[in-house]
Amino acid sequence: MIHDIDLLLWLTGSTVTDIQATGVKVLTDTIDICNARLTFASGCVANVTASRITASPMRKLRVFQPDHYVSLDLAAGTAELYRLVDASAVEPSHQTPLGVVTTQFGDRVIVHDTPAITPANAILQEQRAFFESITSRQPVAVSLAEGAEAIRIAEWVSDLVSR
């Protein structure tokens, strides 16, 4: 979940103001499934789920904003985006550059998009970037402060589920 938290901090560019989290020990002596709801100063709310006991690995992020809903399945490498846009900007029931118009909602419409995701080995990319930063003496992609903040949030989640 630490990588998911880091990703959320980068995506939102905002600080976490509240966390609600639950975790369950099912098969082992440690938490096997965890769900955390992070609230950001920007008003964004994100729901993160990690589980090692589902039929397939589960790493999902769901981000809720006033005019966007994003659902990312990081294990499967898929994304769904829903946007609320001005109806005058798109033709109803047609494919638009933003996606497919699904629902009229007053003077706005909901547009659904499933962008193509290029499969990648995130761990390998992380190791290559780290090696490159050492050999080229360039800054790392995630600064020490950013990494420390992700760890602080992960520990906050861990403290909540360990109660």
Mean pLDDT of 3-24: 94
Are the C-beta atoms of 12 and 149 separated by less than 8 Å? no
- Domains of the chain, by residue range, sit at 2-77+117-161
Two tokens, residue 103: 């629902």
CA angle 76–45–100, rounded 5-degree value:
55
Give the chain as a DSSP string. -HHHHHHHHHHH-S-EEEEEEEEE-SSSSS-SEEEEEEEETTS-EEEEEEESSSSS-EEEEEEEETTEEEEEETTTTEEEEEEEEEGGGS-TTSEETTEEEEEEETTEEEEEE--------HHHHHHHHHHHHHHHTPPPSS-HHHHHHHHHHHHHHHHHHT-
Residue 64 has pLDDT above 70, yes or no: yes
Per-residue confidence (pLDDT) for residue 142, from 0 to 100: 87
Give the pLDDT band (50/70/90) at residue 92: low
CATH no. for 2-77+117-161: 3.30.360.10
Residue 93 has pLDDT above 60, yes or no: no
Rounded distance between C-alpha atoms, residue 139 and residue 83, angstroms: 35
The mean predicted confidence, pLDDT, of the chain is: 88
**Is the pTM for the entire model greater than 0.85?**
no
Residue 97 has pLDDT above 90, yes or no: no
